[in-house]
């Protein structure tokens, strides 16, 4: 019984100790938040002061609703104050909308109405789907496959019907739907006039359509017969997303060699700039195949430039190689950014001890914030904010606070305190709608 009593007492002391630590953390967050507001309030009452206060207010939602509201109340523009709902979660509609979000049901209704609009329906449908506007990556109205093909089915053979069916083959649709749209286009070809038939046939004679019709080797042969860099890059990206390393390597072997792989061109380095899938194990496997098979050395006989290689190894999850390549550039800010990126990855993976030496090395080599051009100073400030956030996550609050105090001007200094307070709040499990960690738009001291 006595031992049991001692165990219970120990548990009570441990719980009390935990509560005391939580209370201390809350006091520290409150103090940082108060200092952040005080710094911003000391700025002249201008638009720039409002910018600083808005960023600080949004960060303080991670700390204390009343303090966040106090910062917003100090702004001359009261729009931010009106976003406060159930604190700390709400930003009152501040989340940006995405093109096409929630449009599909309305598209179907609109198309049904336009189909019934009489002899003028083709022109109305062209306007509705913006068929005469310039090509773009994202259309103002993103209609579903159902709505697009419904419009096409209501029209006679012609350029509008062809354009709508081609739109239905876009990347956003499931493969089965895209394949159906291609089949409809092929069935339509004999009913088209000469020039339009030639144009539609040209649309169908592409590697993209080969892939939709599940003919990957035909797509590779097409690139082999008539090499076009962007088409080759698109094929490689597709095969990597499908984890088809063998075909990705085959297409890569068709790229032209370059004597200068320190810059982006139409060869291997151009592929890296075109964008590879965000799947580190797949990219690492792909790069290992290129190196083992001799393709890497053949395409870049003089080696890949360290600046390009640093980003590539990072994307492949080869962090040590990425750091070594960044160091080989001889550019301090390049190494500093890479060090911060690798540390962020370690922290996101729940490995604070692995991140610690990188964060502390970054702090020791933090770029000067009061030298160079305005752009240089902003770049340095952004990196210091990133390091500050990392210091909090590895438990170095004292170092983080000293770093925050080193920022020049009340705008930047107040923002730094708010970032630190928000970072501590996030660690404590508090929730908020947004975390502002980009100092770029916050004025220094105006």
- Digit-coded pLDDT (tens) for 50-99: 999 999 999 998 888 889 999 999 999 988 888 886 555 444 434 433 33
Instruction: State yes or no: pLDDT of 176 exceeds 90.
Output: no
How far is 379 from 336, CA to CA, in rounded Å? Answer: 11
- Report the pLDDT value the prediction gives residue 202, as an integer from 0 to 100: 87
- Report the pLDDT value the prediction gives residue 97, as an integer from 0 to 100: 35
Instruction: State yes or no: pLDDT of 413 exceeds 80.
Output: yes
Write down the mean pLDDT value for the chain: 86
- Contact by Cβ (8 Å): 385, 439: yes
3-class SS of residue 109:
helix
- Report the pLDDT value the prediction gives residue 442, as an integer from 0 to 100: 85
Contacts of 219 (CB under 8 A, 6+ apart): 207, 208, 210, 211, 235
Question: Among candidates 84, 148, 155, which has minimal Cα distance to 119?
Answer: 155
Q: What is the DSSP letter of 92?
A: T
How far is 209 from 207, CA to CA, in rounded Å? Answer: 5
**Which position has the token pair 């012609």?**
158
Predicted TM-score (pTM) of the model is 0.75
Q: CA geometry: angle at 172 spanning 170 and 178, to 5°?
A: 50
- Res. 49 pLDDT band, cuts 50 70 90: very high
- Report the pLDDT value the prediction gives residue 142, as an integer from 0 to 100: 67
- Digit-coded pLDDT (tens) for 303-339: 999 999 999 999 999 999 999 999 999 999 999 999 9
Q: What is the DSSP letter of 266?
A: S
- Contact by Cβ (8 Å): 333, 383: yes
């Amino acid at each position: 019984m006595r031992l049991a009593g001692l165990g219970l007492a120990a548990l009570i002391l441990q719980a009390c100790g935990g509560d005391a630590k939580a209370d201390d953390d809350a006091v520290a967050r409150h103090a940082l938040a108060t200092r952040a507001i005080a710094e911003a309030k000391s700025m002249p009452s201008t638009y720039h002061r409002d910018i600083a206060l808005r960023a600080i207010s949004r960060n303080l939602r991670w700390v204390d609703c009343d303090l966040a509201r106090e910062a917003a109340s100090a702004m001359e523009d009261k729009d931010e104050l009106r976003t406060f709902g159930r604190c700390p979660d709400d930003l009152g509609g501040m989340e940006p909308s995405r093109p096409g979000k929630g449009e599909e049901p309305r598209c179907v209704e609109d198309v049904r109405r336009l189909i019934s609009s009489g002899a003028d329906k083709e022109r109305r449908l062209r306007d509705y789907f913006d068929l005469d506007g310039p090509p773009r990556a994202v259309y103002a109205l993103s209609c579903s496959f159902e709505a697009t093909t419904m419009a096409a089915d209501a029209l006679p053979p012609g350029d509008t019907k062809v354009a709508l069916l081609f739109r239905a083959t876009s990347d956003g649709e499931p493969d089965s739907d895209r394949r159906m749209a291609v089949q409809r286009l092929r069935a339509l070809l004999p009913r088209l006039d000469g020039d339009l038939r030639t144009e539609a046939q040209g649309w169908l004679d592409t590697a993209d359509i080969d892939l939709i019709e599940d003919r990957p080797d035909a797509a590779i042969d097409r690139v082999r017969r008539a090499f076009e860099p962007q088409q080759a890059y698109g094929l490689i990206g597709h095969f990597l997303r499908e984890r088809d390393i063998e075909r990705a390597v085959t297409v890569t072997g068709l790229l032209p060699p370059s004597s200068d792989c320190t810059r982006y061109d139409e060869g291997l380095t151009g592929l890296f700039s075109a964008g590879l899938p965000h799947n580190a194990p797949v990219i690492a496997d792909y790069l290992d195949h290129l190196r083992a098979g001799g393709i890497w050395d053949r395409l870049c006989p003089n080696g890949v430039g360290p600046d390009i290689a640093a980003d590539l190894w990072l994307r492949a999850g080869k962090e040590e190689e990425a750091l070594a390549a960044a160091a080989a550039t001889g550019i301090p800010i390049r190494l500093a950014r890479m060090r911060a990126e690798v540390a962020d990855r370690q922290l996101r993976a729940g490995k604070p001890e692995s991140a610690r030496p990188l964060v502390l090395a970054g702090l020791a080599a933090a770029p000067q914030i009061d030298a160079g051009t305005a752009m240089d100073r902003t770049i340095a400030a952004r990196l210091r904010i990133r390091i500050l956030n990392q210091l909090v996550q590895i438990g170095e609050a004292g170092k983080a606070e000293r770093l925050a105090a080193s920022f020049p001007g009340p705008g930047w200094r107040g923002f730094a305190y708010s970032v630190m307070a928000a970072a501590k709040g996030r660690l404590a499990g508090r929730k908020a709608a947004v975390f502002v960690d980009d100092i770029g738009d916050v004025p220094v001291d105006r």
